[in-house]
Amino acid sequence: MLSATLLSILYLLIYSVGNFNACLLNNDRSSIYVSVMENAAPGSALTDLPIQGVTFGPEPDTQLKLVKGNDLVDLDARQKKLILKKALDRDEGESKFEVVIECKSLADADFPQINISTFISVLDVNDNAPEFDSDFYNFKVAEELPIGTIVFIGFKATDKDQPGPNSYLTYRILPGKNSHYLAIEEPSEPKITIAERIDFEQITEFDILIEAKDDGNPVLSSIVKAHVTIIDVDDQNPVFDYDYYYAEPFKVISFFDFKSYFIIIFILLICHQ
């Protein structure tokens, strides 16, 4: 059988629990979880704190105090709100942080203060365009290469946004005067291949524009120029200047013919004298 003392203590506990609601969270939660976009403006409310109790007015029964996270947020104890203090940037490492609020009952001096944690997750916003690893590219391509031959892999772009659609990149060669000679067959891979026969005798150099874009909303992209130099290869047979040539055969003078010519010349010289 319970003693009178134990019965009194049990009665007081039941009474206290039944009548004291200050510093409790709605729906019997133990912590608060909030998600916020990284482009949230300073001064905007991050969340309404679901803390029971009256924090203002003629008879407040609850006191709230910010004890952790005051470098990022302010506490509006009157309205039970967390206010963003400065701009966030998930890409610089601020992906999540904890705010701790000290809650104390003003109606019960014997009630100890408790700490309530609010865990804030910063959601990524597509606020970074892709960046190529160079401002300009220059590469050489030999003429007469087979279609599909890989000719250039020395380019790449990166995106500072967090892994996901905002940083997933695809590439393409923008339509242009000579863009039909080359192609990027797999958009997710920075590889340029031959798309059409290139003849050095027809073209020796040209420029293309390469685009990298992400899959965010809105879509962001960057464009870079590349100069292509065509290399001549030995693919031509020798060619004569004319289709045919004509020449008379060379006449060989025999010894006897030479002797006859000499006698005739000798006679002419005597007669001349």
The residues spanned by each domain of the chain are: 4-123, 131-231
pLDDT at 172: 98
The amino acid that residue 86 corresponds to is: K
Structure confidence by residue, pLDDT tens digits, 137-191: 999 999 999 999 999 999 999 999 988 899 999 999 999 999 999 999 999 999 9
Confidence of residue 9 (pLDDT cuts 50, 70, 90): very low
CA 70/CA 127 separation, integer angstroms: 26
Token pair in block for residue 188: 């997710």
Domain 4-123 falls under CATH 1.10.3720.10: no
Domains 4-123 and 131-231 share a fold: yes
- CATH number for the region 131-231 comes to 2.60.40.60
Structure confidence by residue, pLDDT tens digits, 221-243: 999 999 999 999 865 566 667 77
Write out the E strands in 167-260: 170-173, 182-183, 192-194, 205-213, 221-231
Number of H helices, E strands in the chain: 2, 16
Rounded to 5 degrees, φ, ψ at 136 are: -160, 145
**pTM value?**
0.65
Beta pairing partners, 205: 229
DSSP 3-state assignment of 48? Answer: strand
Query: Using alpha carbons only, how large is the chain's radius of gyration in Å?
Result: 45
CA 128/CA 134 separation, integer angstroms: 17
CA 161/CA 152 separation, integer angstroms: 27
